[in-house]
């Protein structure tokens, strides 16, 4: 999950214990994170557009941070962008965008989304939905939202990603 840690660095610095921040300073072979981003010019462009969509939702008071949101991408240009998104997958895009979920080729539920049409990437539509509006809950360990918080009776405040981690630490 090194990629996840890297992408969350911005937020991690604000909120995470020192140990986590130390861990993500530079990647395995000593290159700074910047190099990895320079090699992939497309994804930062998309991330910029998603950031603008999140900012629009924030200005409307619908979300606080990006992590409070689920990002729907109902349409994207088929030739260049959609194959890239599908190759990355929803889970990785969730990490890349620093949100709580990504849904490709799906429309957001009626009435809860803030819609954004990309100018930079014509044909790309982004819909931002507050996780709360979907009935998701916030995990108290990683601060992302999930529909599965509460499933585990022993750890009712944790998400499905954190439950096994906490279990492994305190068997
Ligand atoms: Zn969690």
State in Å: Cα 119 to ligand 1 middle.
Answer: 34
Buried b (16+ CB within 10 A) or exposed e, 93-125: bbbbbbbbbbbbeeebeeeebbebebeebeebb
Residue 115 located in a structural domain? yes
- Rounded distance from Cα 14 to ligand 1 centre (Å): 17
111: left (phi over 0), alpha (psi -120 to 50) or beta: left
Within this chain, do residues 52 and 94 fall inside the same structural domain, yes or no?
yes
Question: From the CA of 149, how far away is ligand 1's center (Å)?
Answer: 8
CATH number (domain holding residue 54): 3.30.2320.20
Same domain for 145 and 63: no
If you measure from the C-alpha of residue 40 to the centroid of ligand 1, how many angstroms do you get, rounded to a whole number? Answer: 28
Question: Do residues 59 and 116 share a domain?
Answer: yes
What is the rounded CA–CA span in Å between residue 17 and residue 71? Answer: 27
Same domain, 82 and 62: yes
Same domain, 104 and 168: no
> pLDDT of 40-70, one tens digit each?
578 899 999 999 999 999 999 999 999 999 9
pLDDT in tens, 135-165: 999 999 999 999 999 999 999 999 999 999 9
Asked if 69 and 133 touch (Cβ cutoff 8 Å), the reply is no
pTM value > 0.85: no
- CA dist 38 → 34, 45, 82 (Å): 6, 11, 21
- Decide if 26 is inside a domain: no
Residue 11 lies in a domain: no
- In angstroms, what is the span from residue 151 Cα to ligand 1's centroid? 12
| Ligand 1 center–CA 77 separation, angstroms | 33
Measured in Å, residue 143 CA sits from the centre of ligand 1 at 6
> What backbone torsions phi and psi does residue 104 show, to the nearest 5 degrees?
-90, 145
3-state secondary structure of 126: strand
Cα 137 to middle of ligand 1, angstroms: 10
CA of 58 relative to ligand 1 center, distance in Å: 23
Alpha-carbon distance of 144 to 147, in angstroms, equals: 10
**Quick one: 141 and 109 in the same domain?**
no
70 and 111: one domain? yes
Query: Is 103 in the same domain as 170?
Result: no
Tally of structural domains, the chain: 2
Flag whether pLDDT at 91 surpasses 70. yes
- Residue 147 belongs to what domain range? 136-171
């Amino acid at each position: 999950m090194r990629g996840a840690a890297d992408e969350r660095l911005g937020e991690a610095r604000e909120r995470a214990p020192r140990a986590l921040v130390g861990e993500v300073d530079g990647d395995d072979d000593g290159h700074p994170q910047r190099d990895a981003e320079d090699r992939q010019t497309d994804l930062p462009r998309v991330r910029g557009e998603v950031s603008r969509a999140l900012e629009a939702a924030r200005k409307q008071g619908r979300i606080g941070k990006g992590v409070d949101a689920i990002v729907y991408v109902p349409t994207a240009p088929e030739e260049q962008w959609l194959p890239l998104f599908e190759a990355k997958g929803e889970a990785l895009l969730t990490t890349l965008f620093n949100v709580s979920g990504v849904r490709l080729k799906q429309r957001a539920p009626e009435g809860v989304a803030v819609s954004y049409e990309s100018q930079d990437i014509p044909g790309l539509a982004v819909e931002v939905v507050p996780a709360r509006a979907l009935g998701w809950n916030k995990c108290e360990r990683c601060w992302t939202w999930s529909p599965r918080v509460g499933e585990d009776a022993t750890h009712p405040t944790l998400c499905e990603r954190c439950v096994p981690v906490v279990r492994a630490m305190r068997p």
